[in-house]
Amino acid sequence: MVTAAAFILAVTLACPTWPEPVCPLEPAPGAGATAGGPYADTLTATEEAWRPLVAEYFCGHAEDEAMHVMACESNGDADVVNPLSGTTGLMQIHPMHFDEMDGPPTDPESNVEHARDLYVRAGGWFDFHCRPVP
């Protein structure tokens, strides 16, 4: 008998690219992307400018969390590269994932799309240095 966890793992490994947009979590009561969500007061105009792109790949409170992670990881700079780890782009994707991406890591859409894939695969923000505050 196959457990639910084994099935999810098998599907995840077999399907590295997910349909878009993905809403992996139900929105928390009162949370959402309207009016910038719960992190609106912490985002700069440069960071907030990426919300339409992020909304293509995340929804509900996952969108707001992604905005916070992006702001923390790159300050909204799509070209930033960490000189120590080599993590690159808006969501600071690690070089070990570059060959899984549809485009270069500095391409904002490819970067955010792969961040979504990592988020879904891991079931959260475990692949990222920055994590949303509760």
Instruction: Give the integer Cα–Cα distance in Å for 118 and 55.
Output: 16
Which residues, 6 or more positions from 6, have their beta carbon under 8 angstroms from its beta carbon? none
Asked if the structure places residue 34 within a domain, the reply is yes
Neighbours of 119 (CB within 10 A): 25
Q: How many domains is the chain partitioned into structurally? A: 1
Q: What is the pLDDT of residues 13-48, one digit of tens each?
A: 434 444 445 555 444 444 333 444 555 567 899 999
Q: What integer best gives the mean pLDDT of the chain?
A: 78
Asked if the structure places residue 127 within a domain, the reply is no
Asked if the structure places residue 129 within a domain, the reply is no
pLDDT-derived band at 72 (thresholds 50, 70, 90) equals very high
Q: What percent of the chain has pLDDT over 70?
A: 68
72: containing domain: 4-122
Asked if the structure places residue 26 within a domain, the reply is yes
Asked if the structure places residue 132 within a domain, the reply is no
Asked if the structure places residue 16 within a domain, the reply is yes
Asked if the structure places residue 8 within a domain, the reply is yes
Asked if the structure places residue 130 within a domain, the reply is no
Residue 88 has pLDDT above 60, yes or no: yes
pLDDT-derived band at 92 (thresholds 50, 70, 90) equals very high
SS3 93: strand
Residue 98 has pLDDT above 90, yes or no: yes
| Cα separation values, 21 from 46, 53, 60, 130, Å | 23, 11, 11, 22
